[in-house]
Structure 1
Amino acid sequence: MLVDSHCHLDFPDFEAERDAVIGRAREAGVGLMVTISTRVRQFDRIRAIAEAYENVFCTIGTHPHNAEEEAGIPASELVKIATSHPKVVGIGEAGLDYFYDKAPRDLQAQGFRAHIEAARETRLPLVIHARQADEDVIRILDEETGKGAFPFILHCFSSGPELARRGVELGGYVSFSGILTFKNSQEIRDIAKTVPTDRLLVETDAPYLAPVPFRGKRNEPAFVAKTAAVLADTIGVTAEEIARITTENFFRLFTKVPRELAREI
């Protein structure tokens, strides 16, 4: 079984055929999916999808692009939502995005730290978005870990080797998306080789970043199998072994997801 640890099933791209998308994922061996929150104020939509499908879980959080729109949401609100619903298994996604800079950087950082506080309190993993902000992400992770450890994952990894190295040192996991399969992503594949196997996950970030041979098309959870195959080849294991490794890592990180689902699905 494979797990798509990060997708966006609430996005309009899937509105017309969500049942079919989830069905195709099952057929491709993707047993579980986590649909990721980008706006706390739109959580009801995320929650409804997670409630409608046994094998779909969700998170609660504000994407850095929306940090200004949802400025000031306290960690306590994230904690309350996360602890009041069995399908909420993570915090985020939150972090820093200096590529698009859609929100002021100080507000991105404030939101990032509030999400870290919520992850620390709930012990649910923080899904971290980091784009062209490696130094500041490392600095904030270092500072906040000094206040107390918290579980986290560097999602859709496309950063440099130092962020991967430091993230792992601080106890984090690293998730690879379809970017890993792109011809010009040799640096990302080289970084993947350095990540301990017990810290590896795979994801789609659907509807974005479809892996080869679907690049340029709408991504969907079924395609995580293509990324997993490239990751397996990159680190020198079989497709079956990478499925076992990444699924085990998923359950170790996302502790709120019932392990028995791996046997039932």
Structure 2
Amino acid sequence: MTLLTDTHTHLFTEEFDEDRDLAIIRARESGVYRLFMPNIDDTSVESLLSTCKTHPACYPMIGLHPTSIDADWEKRLAAVEAWLRGPETFYGIGEVGIDLYWDRTFRSEQMKAFDIQVQWALEFELPLSIHSRSAYPEVLEVLEPYRKEPALSGIFHCFSGSVEEAAPLLEYENFMLGINGTVTYKKSTLPEVLKHIPLERVVLETDSPYLAPVPHRGKRNESAYLVNVAEKLSDIYGTSLDEIAAQTTGNALKVFSKASRTF
């Protein structure tokens, strides 16, 4: 089988402290050979980099997650920016975006922080890994001034919306939709939605340790389970698992072009 690429995994977090090396081995044994790891906030960068330096299949991103935006957001964002402008190599700006699902207190601050990080992506010619939860209007509002920027690229992470919600995202031609384990859930509407979305605009992700696919739902997710997502897409698109792997990995490497030059 053609190699799979997990475009969004947090194997550097504490949930994997007991078996991180084994989790990465299991991923490889399942055919998942490339693991892109978005940062969370100013407290997680060292763990992220340590994991990626130990395991060459792991590619770090840098960013401040929207749920980490608080009263000290400017200080925290500055700390993340110092890492970006330092000697370390990063392959994307993420995980960034807007999350208004639980709390709208820092809505404007989230939008400001997201805008700043979009500017980083353009300055450093890196793709964005965009988190959006109950916030598509706000995300699109921030992105609108950059619509015609040819260098703007990335992934709308964890897409789970409707055909109508996908349409304005797909207008950003250099962006992909990230599909993960939610597509395997019994009540998910994604299988029907994806029938209207070209496979050429889809990448695979786990978002591990979260959102484990069926038959692992309810357990800690890990990159090895990406194959379950790929199998579901094989059913949806009516094509072979090899084709799903080849196309989605090709799509991922279009986004992460800096990483593709390391192979």
Q: d(CA) in 2 for partners of 1:84 and 1:233?
A: 44
> Which of 68, 71, 78 is equivalent to 2:70?
68
Aligned partner of 1:181 among 184, 188, 199:
184
> Partner residue of 1:254?
256
TM-score, normalised via structure 1 length: 0.90
Q: Distance between the aligned counterparts of 2:40 and 2:73, measured in 1?
A: 13
Cα distance, 1:3–1:143 mapped onto 2, change above 3 Å: same
CA distance in 2, matches of 1:2, 1:105: 36
The answer (yes or no) to whether the contact 1:178–1:212 under 8 Å persists in 2 is yes
Distance 1:220 1:82, change over 3 A: farther
Structure 1 residue ranges (4+ consecutive) displaced by more than 6 angstroms after TM superposition: none
Is 1:232 matched with 2:221?
A: no
- Name structure 2 gaps, 5 residues minimum: none
Match of 1:244 in 2: 246
Task: Give CA-to-partner distance per residue, 1:182-228, whole Å, 9 cap, x none.
Answer: 0101x222222222222210010000000000000110000000001
Aligned to 1:158: 160
2: distance between equivalents of 1:122 and 1:76? 17
- Give the superposition deviation at 1:148: 6.4
Corresponding residue for 2:54?
52
- Residues 26, 43 of structure 1: CA spacing in aligned structure 2 closer, same or farther, 3 A cutoff? same
Pick aligned residue for 2:118 from 112, 116, 119: 116
Listed as ranges, the gaps of 5+ residues in structure 1 are none
Q: Give distance in 1, aligned partners of 2:167 and 2:21.
A: 38
SS at match of 2:73: coil
Describe how 1:71-220 pairs up with structure 2 within 5 A.
Answer: 71-72=73-74, 78=81, 81=84, 84-86=87-89, 88-101=90-103, 104-146=106-148, 149-171=151-173, 172-185=175-188, 187-220=189-222
Residue 252 to residue 148, structure 1, CA distance change in 2 (3 Å): closer
Question: How many pairs are equivalent?
Answer: 259
Residues 92, 82 of structure 1: alpha-carbon distance in 2 compared, 3 angstrom cutoff = farther
Give the deviation of 1:71 after TM superposition: 1.4
Report the TM-score, using the length of structure 2 for normalisation.
0.91
- What amino acid is aligned across from residue 65 of structure 1 in structure 2? T
